[in-house]
Amino acid sequence: MVDVAASLQTFHAAAKSLQSVAQAAKALIEQRDESKIHAKVTELNSAIVEAHSQLLTAQTAALAQLGRVKELEQRITRLETWERERQRYELTRLNPGVLVYSLRPGMANGEPRHDICARCYEDGIKSILQPEHSTAGIKLRCARCQAEVTHW
Ligand SMILES: [Zn+2]
């Protein structure tokens, strides 16, 4: 899940730390007392380390979210492609009652007539059934899920 709110909180914390760095640096510049300068330098270093740590955390979160967004975009593209592709097929009953998805007339786009596996279709995958002729009829086999249907 993309947690944008958590990422924004991390960036806010990093910005706050950087504000502390700026305040510590300003206080350091205004100091004249050697011991106080040393204390302010220590405070400044701590603030810089804290800000750096928070920025690294924020960067890591942002990169993870970017990866997730890219993954989701690819998934959407796959689903849209499948949605267009599945419209080219219709559920067909072959003798003696086996069901396959057949290429709709007028939707061939230059492809030869063929059937695709009903099980794989339900999984959102196009898998063309390959025919094997036998004495019992024509056996259609799905290379992906190994489903077999015999019809005549
Ligand atoms: Zn299949």
Of 80, 110, 137, which residue constitutes the final position of a domain?
80
Domain boundary among 56, 80, 104: 80
Could you tell me the distance, in angstroms and rounded to a whole number, from the CA of residue 101 to the centre of ligand 1? 11
Ligand 1 center to 129 CA (angstroms): 8
* DSSP for 22-79, written as a single string: HHHHHHHHH---HHHHHHHHHHHHHHHHHHHHHHHHHHHHHHHHHHHHHHHHHHHHHH
Question: Do 39 and 65 belong together in one domain?
Answer: yes
Cα(75) to ligand 1 centroid in Å equals 21
Q: What is the pTM of this model?
A: 0.64
pLDDT of residue 2: 63
Q: Are residues 13 and 67 in the same domain?
A: yes
Q: Other CB atoms closer than 10 Å to residue 17's CB: what's the count?
A: 20
Determine the structural domain holding residue 26 and report its residue range: 4-80
Distance from residue 86's CA to the centre of ligand 1 (Å)? 14
The number of folded domains in the chain is 2
Gap from CA of 140 to ligand 1 centroid (Å): 10
pLDDT for 32-79, tens place per residue? 788 888 888 888 888 889 889 988 998 998 999 999 999 999 999 999
- In a shared domain, residues 61 and 91: no
pLDDT band for position 151 (cuts 50, 70, 90)? confident
Give, in order, the Cα–Cα distances in Å from 48 to each of 38, 61, 148. 15, 20, 66
Among 80, 106, 122, give the residue marking a domain's end.
Answer: 80
